[in-house]
Amino acid sequence: MISSPTSSIVTVNGLQHSNPSYSVWLQLDQLLRLWMFITISSDLLTEVHDVPHSFQLRERFAHYFNTPNLACAIELKCTLSTLSKDHNQSMDDHLRGIKQIVDYLALIGSPLSDMDLVTLILNGVCWSGLISLGPTATYVA
């Protein structure tokens, strides 16, 4: 991490002036912060939009994502396994909710395989009665 230079400097005759190094540092810091904002999801952006500097943003990300949380991963996977689409819920909302959970699982280091994800989605849609797999359907473990 590059530490921030002081925003002002005192000259030999005791006058205080803005530090040109700080201006350059601030421009680079804000550019990096903007890049970080552009690359994160809108849900995460609402959590970190008030962080003023890129190094603080990196620290916040480290706090959120570098702490493996087994209990959280288990809870989210249990939620996914019992999730089904409500009759009054649009398919878009249902899939968006699944995506949020799956994305968070990936961020905490417990991603789902594509096969598991498809199985969970179809299972939730089938249990809601929207489609029927019929009597010949078999599940492969």
141 domain-assigned: no
Q: Is the pLDDT of residue 41 over 50?
A: yes
Residues 56 and 12 occupy one common structural domain: yes
107 domain-assigned: yes
How many separate domains does the chain show? 2
For 81, the token pair is 């396994």
41 domain-assigned: yes
Closest CA relative to residue 100, chosen from 39, 44, 35: 44
26 domain-assigned: yes
pLDDT in tens, 42-91: 878 888 899 999 989 988 887 776 666 777 888 888 888 888 778 888 88
The range of the structural domain enclosing residue 86 comes to: 70-127
109 domain-assigned: yes
- Mean pLDDT of the chain, nearest integer: 82
Question: What's the predicted TM-score (pTM) here?
Answer: 0.47
Crossing angle of helices 91-107 and 70-82, in 10° steps, is 160
> Which amino acid, one-letter code, is at 114?
D
Residues 22 and 44 occupy one common structural domain: yes
Closest CA relative to residue 117, chosen from 102, 128, 103, 132: 102
> Which amino acid, one-letter code, is at 130?
L
Q: Is the pLDDT of residue 1 over 50?
A: yes
